[in-house]
Amino acid sequence: MSAMKRQLHLNLFIHSRGHHEASWRHPASSPLALTDIRYYQDLAQRAEAAKFDSIFIADQLALAEDVAQAPRIWLEPVTTLAALAMATTRIGMIATASTTYAEPFNLARQFASLDHISNGRVGWNIVTSWLATAARNFGGTGQVSHADRYARGEEFMTVVKALWDSWAEDAVVDDRVGGHYARADRIRPINHRGDFYQVAGPLNMPRCPQGRPVLVQAGSSDTGRRFAARHADAVFTAHVAKATAQDFYTNLKALATAEGRPSDQVLILPGLSPMIGSTEAEAQRLAREVDDLCDPEVGRKRLSGRFGGHDFSNLPLDRPLRPEDFPDPGLVEAARSRTEVILNLVRRDRPTLRQLLGYLAGARGHFTIAGTPEQIAELIEEWFADHAADGFNIMPPLLPAQLDVFSTEVIPLLQRRGLFRAEYVGETLREHYGLPWPRSAFAPRGGLPRAGWRG
Ligand SMILES: Cc1cc2nc3c(=O)[nH]c(=O)nc-3n(C[C@H](O)[C@H](O)[C@H](O)COP(=O)(O)O)c2cc1C
């Protein structure tokens, strides 16, 4: 049997009525309310029918300041995933949760529970919460600094991994006749005492189907990359050009190798927001149509949020921007890597503020393109072949309309090229992503691997 060709991975990022800032106003986006679970269930089912590896729901822990002009994320992701697990059978599902504003015991328990509920289809997007206003909802202190957020995140990971590993796979016997429910010697405390957390353990729930949820990470600063290299099974990242995506890919794979991890076990999934039409002109017309619904003042507020609240209100809309118009990214305590993406764009293209905000309205600094299905498939294959990506975080500008076009027009082209599955093979997200089972800290009982042992 010939070795299988390297396979592409596709995640559907569900956001508002589409990733374009003005998607919610466009007639091609869903008429359902953004608090209606049927909207999310329907999208998850469409993505499953198209054989996507997974769906992803992001989260922020404060109301956005532009709520008067644009919706963002409404339902809480962990509870949402429980509902989506009941509406689907095969697709993986990933939710954001914060290491800065959650307790590791609660989070480990919620994600283990979701993994049981979904039969092994859950992933956790680990974020440290860059939004400055989130801090005000948790104790009223100021923004936790970039460095401190990652330091806390590192210890958080030690604790949750130990909790997920506090039950052996064979701890539950459930022997009704003998009256023996569990093997107490196959469940153990973790006794963690660190700088930020004191957690005795064990987890109050049996080991979850995937051993632990698939771990996803989306911070691309230097600290964020080292964190990803240690912990992430998959990495979401934003790039506006193939060259920077390639540099990121090479760098992160090397960092993973330096951490002693096989580099093919850290999947790199850059964002891609394609506006697809049957001709290039139609795609561009559609893109212009949504662009025309944008309000530049929304963009200005969002830009300010990205730069930790910096005031851009006096910046004229129509003169070319200079890097000096922005604060130094090294001093920004918010989403540092995205500020660099934006500054690189300014250095490269010298756009006016209006043009920059127009670009960011598409998908907030992720790669956007308007084109035909063939052009999109070509781009995907090229990035994949040139080691800029192991797959993509697909961010349709309009939902569900542009998801459907992607599924019916682009995915078949990828399948014909032998790059993407025609049917699911595995049952779990770990299997869809081609990842090994995490090694258990418990030795197999009696020293011999038992049937089904996946340590
Ligand atoms: C595709 C993608 C999704 C993200 N989702 C979230 C999210 O849901 N919540 C959040 O607070 N940050 C989210 N982020 C931001 C990152 O987690 C991270 O905080 C940010 O990139 C700043 O980290 P850095 O300074 O290491 O780059 C996302 C980033 C990317 C690329």
Q: Looking at residues 105-125, what average pLDDT do you find?
A: 98
Task: Please report, rounded to a whole number, the percentage of residues in the chain having pLDDT higher than 70.
Answer: 96
pLDDT attached to residue 332: 75
Point out the ligand 1 atom lying closest to the alpha carbon of residue 237. 31
- Model confidence pTM above 0.85: yes
Contact 168, 186 (CB under 8 A): yes
Q: Does 149 sit in the ligand 1 pocket, CB within 6 Å?
A: no
Q: Which of 46-50, 108-112, 300-304 has the lowest mean pLDDT?
A: 300-304
* Distance from Cα 187 to the centre of ligand 1, integer Å: 34
Q: Does 224 sit in the ligand 1 pocket, CB within 6 Å?
A: yes
Tell me how far apart the terminal alpha carbons of the chain are, to the nearest angstrom: 26
Contact 394, 11 (CB under 8 A): yes
- Tokens matching residue 398: 């309009």
Point out the ligand 1 atom lying closest to the alpha carbon of residue 134. 11
Alpha-carbon dihedral 98, 186, 204, 149, rounded to 10 degrees: -20
In this structure, which residue's CA is closest to atom 28 in ligand 1?
218
pLDDT attached to residue 450: 44
Task: Please report, rounded to a whole number, the percentage of residues in the chain having pLDDT higher than 90.
Answer: 77
Q: What is the pLDDT of residues 158-202, one digit of tens each?
A: 999 999 999 999 999 999 999 999 999 999 999 999 999 999 999
Q: Does 118 sit in the ligand 1 pocket, CB within 6 Å?
A: no
Tell me: pLDDT of 147 over 60. Answer: yes
- Distance CA(120)–CA(430), nearest Å, equals 8
Contact 124, 95 (CB under 8 A): yes
pLDDT band for position 131 (50/70/90)? confident
* Distance from Cα 236 to the centre of ligand 1, integer Å: 8
Q: What is the pLDDT of residues 366-405, one digit of tens each?
A: 999 999 999 999 999 999 999 999 999 999 999 999 999 9
Q: Looking at residues 288-303, what average pLDDT do you find?
A: 89
* Distance from Cα 335 to the centre of ligand 1, integer Å: 7
Point out the ligand 1 atom lying closest to the alpha carbon of residue 98. 11
In the 8-state DSSP scheme, what is residue 187?
B
| DSSP calls for 367-397 | EEEEE-HHHHHHHHHHHHHTTS-SEEEE--S
Q: What is the pLDDT of residues 211-257, one digit of tens each?
A: 999 999 997 889 999 999 999 999 999 998 999 999 999 999 999 99
* Distance from Cα 94 to the centre of ligand 1, integer Å: 14
Please choose from 54, 72, 125 the residue to mutate so as to test ligand 1's pocket, defined by most ligand atoms within 8 A of CB.
125
